[in-house]
Structure 1
Amino acid sequence: MATAPNISFEFFPPKNMGAAFGLFETVNALHSTHPSFVSVTYGAGGTTRTLTHEAVELLHKKFDLNVAAHLTCVDATRAETLEIANAYADAGVTEIVALRGDPPKDKGQFEPHEDGFANSVELIEALAETGRFTLRVGAYPDPHPEAADENADVLWLKRKFEAGADSAITQFFFEPDTFFRFRDRAASEGITGKIIPGILPIVSLGGLKRFAATCGMTVPTHIEEAFDAAGNDSEALSIDLSTKLCERLIEGGVEDLHFYTLNRPGLSKAVLANLGIAGA
């Protein structure tokens, strides 16, 4: 196999004490793989803004991790958003995952705050101007639900890099060729920044279908059929599918993998063990 890739993980902030213990257990389980960075999400509509800030600072201080805090444009003024960003920098957290963000669940579409950033590009430009951050952004190998056509996501990603992004993390996808086609289209548009594939080990088929629906994606029939047939062996199937996906990506020249852990470390760690990652 090619050289082992750099590994990173996404966590979500705990909403109660039990979930806090779950997050700590997840971080402890994956810490030994020496991730290049970890990210902590916002909830839809910015609903976990305070929890995200607390989790980011804790992971940075307690676990000495390179933490990238998610930051969105949702339901905040420009001043409020930059105040949050600068508070991260003051605490030693200098990586941001800059996103437009999902609208609150009671709203059908994103509506910028009247004094806020209209989109992710405006947010990236403002953060870049501070000179305080490494900026990571989102990318969509499968079309974003609001994309006008197949190439719209590539062109929007180009604008993000031109605004000051340092790297991009993709939404999860099911087939390696989906990523490779996106990477090739990005290169043809002159994008030279790093595009990191996002990997989602499948916890359950039902959960995957709900998650995919929120992203405007459809779960391939062959994956549904495989999980229906697997029955009690669905965990082994999930590990096998993610391992094979990662192996194909690495063979295709990918040097970084970002795992969406859902705060459940077992599947991600098993995949990493299969890939020969030290500490897994």
Structure 2
Amino acid sequence: MTTNRSFSFELFPPKTEKGFENLKTAVNQLNALNPEFFSVTYGAGGSTQDRTFASVDWLREQQIETAPHLSCIGSSREEILQILDRYHEQKIRRLVALRGDLPSGAGLGSLGELNYANELVEMIKERYGDHFYIEVAAYPEFHPQANSAKADLKNFKRKVEAGADGAITQYFYNPDAYFCFVEECSDMGIDIPIVPGIMPITNYVQLARFSDACGAEIPRWVRRRLESFGDDLEGIRAFGAEVVTELCRRLLDGGAPGLHFYTMNQATPTLKIWNNLGL
């Protein structure tokens, strides 16, 4: 494995004190692996946003490199700039800039002043220049709301042209989808690093629900094997670790610039894959 690859971990802001303690435990275990950064997901408005700030604040107190997510749907420019000023004061140097999920039944244009991630990237660049390294989302199996694969690639290119420095993909289990996507991006003149997002498999029912909602395909043979374990969580996790380890190995051997693990605030599944890979 080369040393210039980027390895990072995603967290979500916990809702309870116990959840926050679990997050701290997971971070302490994963931080021992010297990741490039931890990202923290974002909820627009109210208590959800406050939980994001609390998680980011704690990580920065530990001197841990932190990349907060920031979505623009449902927020005014002024609200977004206030958040950016806060992160700038905390000496945060990396952000994950996203459109954000549309609430059910809502249409673009009715939820704030910015409708697309490329507009958010442009605004960050206008205000802060190159202070922030900006990650954006990429979809090797294409965004579920995209009209076509071609339209989705054009949307991605708009984010890059707006000033994105790197991209993290939606999780997937078919490495060919990733390599094909990267090749198509290269053909369009996109040359930023596109880091694969990796989702460890620990709970089949939950994973199937997530995947159906976000358009991530679970290969049929993997689904059938996972279904065969029934309630045997240990069996699901052991098989899941094998599948995801092999996926990561193929990605790294094929030239992926790193891995970004969706940890779900649990260290053990990611550590298992990490150790299997001998990183």
Normalising by the residue count of structure 1, what TM-score does the alignment of the two structures yield?
Answer: 0.92
Please tell me whether residue 121 in structure 1 is matched to residue 118 in structure 2. yes
Please tell me whether residue 66 in structure 1 is matched to residue 26 in structure 2. no
Gaps of 5+ in 2: none
Matched residue, 2:164: 165
Matched residue, 1:276: 278
- What is the letter of the counterpart of residue 51 of structure 2? L
C-alpha change, 1:45 and 1:202, in structure 2 (3 Å) is: farther
Matched residue, 2:85: 86
Shift in Å at residue 216 of structure 1? 2.7
Gaps of 5+ in 1: none
Secondary structure at the aligned position of 1:137 is classed as strand
CA distance in 2, matches of 1:46, 1:252: 43
- What is the letter of the counterpart of residue 60 of structure 1? R
CA distance in 2, matches of 1:148, 1:166: 25
Equivalent residue runs for 1:51-200 within 5 Å: 51-62=51-62, 64-104=63-103, 107-112=104-109, 115-129=112-126, 130-131=128-129, 132-200=131-199
The superposition leaves residues 136-180 of structure 1 with CA deviations (integer Å, 9 ceiling, x where unpaired) of: 100000121111111222211111111010000000011110100
* Aligned residue pairs, count: 273
Matched residue, 1:210: 209
CA distance in 2, matches of 1:88, 1:193: 24
C-alpha change, 1:9 and 1:34, in structure 2 (3 Å) is: same
- Check whether the contact 2:38–2:66 (CA below 8 A) recurs between aligned residues: yes
Matched residue, 2:28: 28
Matched residue, 1:255: 257
Secondary structure at the aligned position of 1:151 is classed as helix
Shift in Å at residue 252 of structure 1? 0.4
CA distance in 2, matches of 1:110, 1:266: 39
CA distance in 2, matches of 1:66, 1:149: 36
C-alpha change, 1:172 and 1:256, in structure 2 (3 Å) is: same
CA distance in 1, matches of 2:40, 2:110: 23
Secondary structure at the aligned position of 2:183 is classed as helix
CA distance in 2, matches of 1:245, 1:114: 38
What is the percentage of aligned positions where both structures have the same residue? Answer: 39
Aligned-pair Cα RMSD in Å: 1.7
